[in-house]
Amino acid sequence: MARESAAAAAAPETTTAAAFNASASVSGIVSSLAREYTANTPQRLKVIDTYMVFCVAVGIVQFVYCGLVGTFPYNAFLAGFGSAVACFVFAANLRMKTNPKNRAQFP
């Protein structure tokens, strides 16, 4: 009886600890990723990555506006969204070419 109550009391603590460990692991992964990126990524690639994030953000804002307000004028939405996507694609290509790790493929 005493063992069962102790086991029952230990069960929620185990679940809480597992959840805490999981969240800690996720935040740990994100922070270690950020540290690795900041330390090991060349400055040139960071500039391009920042530009790519800017393209994504602008595209998302335009898409949300189109979803909320409507497509009129449709050509304006197509032009703006298409430009953001195109800039992102070109920036991705530039990043692949300027990455020092790809120097063998892009001399």
Partner 1 sequence: MRCFRSSTRMLLAICTLASSCLAALQPTDIHIKVMERTGDKLFSASPQYPNTFGKVPEITSTTPLSVSFSVKSTTANEAVAVDQAFVNFRHKETGDETAFVAKRAGVGAYRMDLARKHFRTHFAPSPGLYDISLVLGSFADGGVHYALGTVQMSNGKPQQQQQQQRMSDTVVFGARPEIHHRFAEPQRMPSAAVSLVFAVLCVVPLVVLFGVWARLGVNVGGLGAEPVASAAFLGLVGAYMALAVAYWVGVKLFSALTYALVLALPTYAVGQVALSRRAASKPC
For partner 1, what does the binding mask look like between residues 9 and 38, x meaning CB under 8 A? ------------------------------
Separation of alpha carbons 16 and 19, rounded Å: 5
Phi and psi at residue 12, in whole multiples of 5°? -60, -35
Place of tokens 């679940």: 15
In the complex, what is the shortest distance from the CB of residue 99 to partner 1, in angstroms, rounded to a whole number? Answer: 16
Pick out residues in 42-81 that bind partner 1 (CB under 8 A).
43, 46-47, 50-51, 53-54, 57-58, 61-62, 64-65, 68-70, 72
Separation of alpha carbons 13 and 54, rounded Å: 43
Q: Are 94 and 48 in contact (CB under 8 A)?
A: yes
Please report, as ranges, the residues that interact with partner 1 according to CB under 8 A: 43, 46-47, 50-51, 53-54, 57-58, 61-62, 64-65, 68-70, 72
